[in-house]
Structure 1
Amino acid sequence: MAASETILSVKDLRVRFRTLDGAVEAVKGINIHVKSGETVAVVGESGSGKSQTMMAAMSLLASNGEASGAVDYRGRNLLALSKSELNKVRGRKISMIFQEPMTSLDPLYSIGNQLIEPIRRHRGLNAAEAREEALKLLRLVQIPDPERRMKSYPHEMSGGQRQRVMIAMALANDPDILIADEPTTALDVTIQAQILMLLAELQRKLGMAIVFITHDLGIVRRFADRVYVMRYGEVVEEGEAEAIFANPQHAYTKMLLAAEPTGTKAPPPPNAPVLLEGRNVEVTFKIGGGFLAGEPLLLRAVDRISIRLKRNQTIGIVGESGSGKSTLGRALLRLLPSDGVIRLGDRDISSADRQAMRPLRRELQLVFQDPFGSLSPRMTIGQVITEGLLVHEPALSGKQRDQRAVEALREVGLDPNARNRYPHEFSGGQRQRIAIARAMILKPKVVVLDEPTSALDRSVQKQIVELLRKLQADHELSYLFISHDLAVVRAMADYIIVMKQGKIVEEGPTEAIFSDPQAAYTQTLMNAAIDVTRFRLSA
């Protein structure tokens, strides 16, 4: 097969969504082609139409979406195929790694079953053969203890681990074309470059083409052969990757290349009161077990951690996927059972039940890592954002709640006129901003931000960092900022806790941690961040 053969051709593709506010044109007549064995990057900010382009190509648009034009795969227009004909292509010839793994994995099936089923369906292997292939895939994407993880369910895995499972599923049937929609968004810095190099290695081995969708233009420099830059549903620049990086022509492309969160956070005054405190906090999970399975395995996700969060302080919690940082945040909010002491101001909430915690929820808010999974698909975003007001400010009229929604949407950089639309009509980054607006509308004292910028492009990350700083200054908010993105943590936090396997391995002021890390693990994280940067910037 000639390497120059075009195997996928998108011609005059248009994607529209029917909404209560009229038709929204997400993709406006674009043309993209993919050759066998090459990597094509489609980059742009959230809402640029890059994901909807590939969703349309796979006929996976939401029910209110429609596509026109042609998507030609080896001489067949995918937009004209029946569902049964499409199913012979989707998941076998063309596979996709979705941006939000939690909504793509079935919560009722174990990871092993979700890998084994498509292998058996498409490759005709027996159960034992399919199980062995599934184990190989988990090892390939560096899931620790794959034999045990075969029995795990999606909610028992971290965000990064779920993303790696999605990559394994996409590779299960040796696809001709792999569409990777933000495949490293949820991954920590120590494995981002490894995953990219893994995909490149698999591409050389299998000869597959890769369509790489990302908001981070820098990450594709060494990975992509050609680049399409999208904005507002149109391709504004295209060309060979080296040419795009060496001499970008469009102002928008130049902005994407230059975007990076900057600035530092000053610490709170020494006499600032402690708003949230945890002493010797422990969280233990039982995995497996039962009448026939024997004793369950006990996993201590958080191991005797103590933390003190002051008013107007931001503590950054960093560590690899599975280190326990998100579990710690939820335990401190009393969303998970835990041992140890947890205090909110002068109140001991260690043993507070659901009813006792309800009036305190206004003071303690959480922005989830996966915004789509936390937003009800049956509610408009206006209803989503104001839902908490019904509980905590029931005296407000409908008009007053609507005005608060307008103000909250403006604060996070979204058009208030979009408040009658539904979550699926927004990009991943826009949904994350909706989730932030929902938390901030109640004016809480403490906010746990669990990877709040992981789905956002760099330019929007800068805006969100600035927004969070402003809200903090205006209302003396305290943040627990959980992230694997060290650049964002450095810009947001004045104090850092480094976690590994449920324990704190190092903590201290942000600049001290970055300039002179003491623990070997912290040094590994910092070096990995440098390596990813080199991976992005090296020619």
Structure 2
Amino acid sequence: MGEAVLSVRNLHVRFRTGDGILHAVKGIDLDVPAGETVAIVGESGSGKSQTMMSVMGLLATNGWAEGSVRYRGQELVGLSPEKLNAYRGSKLTMIFQEPMTSLDPLYRIGNQLALPLMAHSKMGKAAARKRAIELLELVRIPDPARRIDAYPHEMSGGQRQRVMIAMALANNPDVLIADEPTTALDVTVQAQILELLRDLQQRLGMSIVFITHDLGIVRRFADRTYVLKRGEVVESGNTGDIFASPKHPYTQMLIDAEPQGRKEPVPADAPVVMEARNIQVTFALEKNLFGKVTRILRAVDDVSFAVRSGETVGIVGESGSGKSTLGRAILKLQPASGMLRFEDRSLMPLDRSGMRPLRRHLQLVFQDPFGSLSPRMTAGEIVTEGLLVHEPSIPRKERDRRAAQAFEEVQLDPAWRNRFPHEFSGGQRQRIAIARAMILHPKLVVLDEPTSALDRSVQKEIVELLRNLQKAHGLAYVFISHDLAVVRALSDEIMVMKTGKVVERGSAEEIFERPREAYTRDLIAAAFLAERGNAATGSQPLVS
């Protein structure tokens, strides 16, 4: 191991909560050598993100760090924000899991890239803009001179993550901390981002700290690995050695973790809950001087399907395939044309007020539980928010009782309902989001990438939870995901989407065992590349 650029010794991180002091990180030692990639892995709540948030001085206001964090010999723990700013954003930078919540939706990409350049390198506006274009070119954004004036919502998930990488690289940092930077991306874009990071590391000579739950990525990407459990390092060493012969049972469990089993078939007489026919969603891309649309995008193009009580229809495809847009369209959250029927009612003629009584039966669980949960509300208030809309007459005591019941149903301690979202792990926040949907006793739930931000062992738990809730309540699921292992474990039927169209559909067994389309075969190959990697050697190509 070379000389350490970043050294952590006896690091403790604690948070004041309504239930007392939470000891999140317990005496961690960690070294980041120059030019190497160090992975920090572990389940949600293991302390991996909080370790690096404390390094950057970005802990929540109710948290504090003790111990030593040294960057090239300079102690960072205890520095004032003003003194820390001399290092973070320039020598130490960080990219986060969800770029859409990290980028300001009101500012153009170029303006956001220019800010760290103007703050740390003291550039003027013109020089900062020129450098921003160079950075976009560096991270392989096409036509950077034009895209620099785009807003975040005008870019795909992969492009937004490239912008975040560009922002982190703006001042040529020594250490880049990447906190789950690929989990929100489909498998093909994920491979591109990893290839980009490796290329940039070799060209710029920086160190990378890679926080992730995806051990397939760790195996292919990291030089050294630290395994965290409940705030403590239980195993560390050369990545190849850890995968070839893991010494700790927890490490072995993480390596072996994957959603298991297959879903029970739906009875033949199960009633249809939702039927969609010839659904189309279009967006105007360009208009002429007279306001006439001259170019459109068919985000969803003539899609038809039905989902029955107790059935799960899985929808898979790359970013931009239209799968999330289709999910919003069938819930009448996105204008669309075609036929849409919920039980015995046609939904297309209904306006907002007409849809309101049906909303409790049609629920949505989002990809990013932290972004979808209000930080100003307690978990109990979040879960019961729908009751205030759909059952406003019930007393507060009854709402609280039902909140406790909902917490139990998603296997969370009811006593935790007075905590705030930032006091929960990612997997726990997703359970809260599921409880918020389930408390209204829906009939159809659209789950939009509900497990992509979770580690494998927690994914396994969430899949089992969703199965149990479906069986107990006869729920119909539309499950949108790029994680084919999870889709396979949960779905009866799978639709494969590409550029707005369904290119293949069939049972889970048919799609995975006998895919007909080359596009489907490519998705499956990319998805399972990491899972089928050579654990003995640790060597894997980044792109299949």
Given the two structures, how large is their TM-score scaled by the length of structure 2?
A: 0.92
SS of residue paired to 1:34: strand
Is the partner of 2:260 in helix, strand or coil?
coil
1:447 CA displacement: 0.4
| Residue of structure 2 equivalent to 1:354 | 352
Amino acid at match of 1:500: K
Q: Residue 157 of structure 1 contacts residue 322 of structure 1 at CA under 8 Å; is this kept in 2?
A: no
**352-361 vs 446-455, greater mean Cα deviation:** 352-361
Contact 1:189–1:532 (CA<8 Å) still a contact in 2? no
Q: Is the 8 A contact 1:111 1:151 kept in 2?
A: yes
The 3 A distance-change label for structure 1 pair 138 and 534 is farther
1:259 to 257, 260, 266: 257
Query: In 2, distance between residues paired with 1:148 and 1:362?
Result: 43
Q: How far 1:267 moved relative to its partner?
A: 3.7
CA pair 293-128 structure 1, distance change in 2 beyond 3 A: farther
For 1:290 and 1:17, the matched residues in 2 are separated by: 56
Alpha-carbon separation, structure 2, partners of 1:304 and 1:149 = 30
CA contact (8 A) 1:112 1:134 kept: yes
Whether the 8 Å contact between 2:7 and 2:70 is mirrored in structure 1 is yes
Q: Which amino acid aligns with 2:312?
A: T
> Do 1:277 and 1:344's aligned partners in 2 also have CA atoms closer than 8 Å?
yes
Distance 1:327 1:343 in 2: 18
1:238 aligns with 2:236: yes
- Whichever residue aligns with residue 436 of structure 1, its letter is I
Please state whether the residue corresponding to 2:221 is helix, strand or coil: coil
Structure 2 match to 1:344: 342
1:25 aligns with 2:23: yes
What residue is the counterpart of 1:523 in the other structure? 521
Letter in 2 for 1:304: D
Q: Which residues of 2 match residues 35-434 of structure 1 at below 5 A?
A: 35-123=33-121, 130-131=128-129, 133-135=131-133, 137-138=135-136, 141=139, 143=141, 149-287=147-285, 298-434=296-432
Distance in structure 1 (CA, Å) of the matches to 2:146 and 2:477? 35
- Between the aligned partners of 1:370 and 1:149, the Cα distance in structure 2 is 26
Number of residue pairs the alignment of both structures matches = 537
Report Cα offsets for 1:58-115 as digits up to 9, x if no partner: 0111111111112111121122333232222112111111123222110111233322
Unaligned runs of 5+ in 2: 540-544
Q: Which runs of 5+ in 1 are unaligned?
A: none
3-state SS of paired residue (1:399): helix
Q: What is the alpha-carbon distance in structure 2 between the residues aligned to residue 304 and residue 45 of structure 1?
A: 40
Residues 331, 148 of structure 1: CA spacing in aligned structure 2 closer, same or farther, 3 A cutoff?
farther
The 1:58/1:291 distance shift into structure 2, 3 A limit, reads farther
Provide the identity percentage: 65
Q: Deviations over 1:442-489 (max 9, x none)?
A: 121000000000111111111111111111111111111000101111
* 1:265-284 Cα shifts (integer Å, max 9, x gaps): 24423443221122222222
SS in 1 for 2:384: helix
What is the CA-CA distance between 1:136 and the residue it aligns to? 5.0
CA apart distance, 1:296: 7.5
SS state of the match for residue 362, structure 1? helix
Q: Is the 1:44–1:217 contact (alpha carbons within 8 Å) kept by the matching residues of 2?
A: no
What SS does the corresponding residue of 1:410 show, helix, strand or coil?
helix
Q: 2:92, 2:176 within 8 Å by CA — same for their partners in 1?
A: yes
Change in CA separation of 1:446 and 1:207 when aligned onto 2, cut-off 3 Å: same
The one-letter amino acid paired with 1:34 is: V
1:335 maps to amino acid: L
| Aligned twin of 2:453 | 455
1:408-433 deviation per Cα after TM superposition (whole angstroms, max 9, x unaligned): 22333322222111112222232222
* Residues 102 and 373, structure 1, Cα contact 8 Å, conserved in 2: no
* 1:514 aligns with one of 508, 512, 515: 512
Offset of 1:177 from its aligned partner?
0.3
CA–CA separation in structure 1 for the residues paired with 2:200 and 2:71: 21
Task: State the one-letter code of the partner of 1:369.
Answer: Q
**Which range is displaced more, 321-330 or 136-145?**
136-145
* In structure 1, distance between residues paired with 2:430 and 2:458: 11
Shift of the 364–91 alpha-carbon distance from structure 1 to 2, 3 Å rule, reads same
Residues 499/111 of structure 1: CA separation in 2 closer, same or farther (3 Å cut):
farther
Q: CA RMSD in A?
A: 2.4
With 141-150 and 255-264 compared, the bigger mean Cα shift is at 141-150
Opposite residue 392 of structure 1, the aligned amino acid is: H
Shift of 1:312: 1.4
- Quickly say closer, same or farther: Cα 1:516–1:503, change in 2 above 3 A: same
Q: Is the 1:193–1:532 contact (alpha carbons within 8 Å) kept by the matching residues of 2?
A: no
What is the deviation of 1:380? 0.2
In the TM superposition, residue 437 of structure 1 has moved relative to its aligned partner by: 1.4
Supply the distance in 1 between the matched residues of 2:317 and 2:206 (Cα, whole angstroms). 33
Change (3 A) 1:336 1:200: same
In structure 2, distance between residues paired with 1:128 and 1:284: 37
Cα 1:167–1:527 shift into 2, 3 Å? same
CA distance in 2, matches of 1:534, 1:165: 31
Q: Output the CA distance in 2 between the equivalents of 1:372 and 1:290.
A: 40
Instruction: For residue 214 of structure 1, report the CA deviation from its aligned partner.
Output: 1.0
Instruction: Give 1:361 shift.
Output: 0.8
The alpha carbon displacement at 1:402 in A equals 1.9
Aligned partner letter, 1:381: A
2:542 corresponding residue in structure 1: none
- In 2 relative to 1, CA 359–435 (structure 1 residues): closer, same or farther, beyond 3 Å? same
